[in-house]
Amino acid sequence: MDTIFYKMKWSFLVISFTSALIACAQPKIIIHAYSQQFTPGTIPTRDVVGENADDFIKHPAVITNYLIYVEVDTAMQITPSAVWVGGKWDTVAAKNIIKTPFITEYPSKKTLVPATSKKVYEIILGDTLKQAIVPTAKVKKQMIDHELIFAYWWNGKRYFAALKKLTVLEPLEGM
């Protein structure tokens, strides 16, 4: 009888400890990400003659803008470090959004971030990272079948959150 009780007590302790470790493992992050094609309005700003008359700098006719928002618990303090999107790692800056829902009005009304009591960051893409992040095996696999990977620091450790598919917004055309 004592042996069964001892085994049950030990099992309960192991399950409790494992559950506590899982709960502390990685913060829950919700990513809202969108891509939007933008066509600049004036053609001369796209194509520029270089220093020599033979040099012709061709700018892309269509630019892809990425709108990325990250939701975290209000008590959590994360530091965004990079985003992998469009096949490359970019530097990021984070701007805290105070009010949700976050809605865009143009070209049509769309809720980008629903109403929430959580902390929401707008992730602003910077330049391409000069030295790309060396991905783990798990992140390499995510780079194959996910469109966006968000790298961030929490409690002194780097974490990654992935998003399978970006939501495509209506294209914008310049004036």
| 115-159: pLDDT as tens digits | 999 999 999 999 999 888 889 999 999 999 999 999 999 999 999
Global confidence as pTM: 0.76
100 with 113: CB under 8 angstroms? yes
Q: Which of 141, 143, 40 is nearest to 82 (CA)?
A: 143
Reported as type and span, the H/E element at residue 148 is strand 148-154
Distances (CA, A) of 11 to 4, 7, 8, 24: 10, 6, 5, 20
R_g of the chain, CA atoms, integer Å: 23
- Token couple for 74: 């209000």
| Cβ-proximal residues to 147 (8 Å cutoff; 6+ apart), any chain | 33, 85, 163, 164, 165, 166
Among candidates 33, 23, 114, 121, which has minimal Cα distance to 74?
Answer: 121
What pLDDT, in 10s, does the model give residues 22-78? 445 677 999 999 999 988 766 555 566 667 766 666 666 788 999 999 999 999 999
Largest separation between any pair of C-alpha atoms in the chain: 94
Q: Domain residues of the chain, as ranges?
A: 29-40+69-169
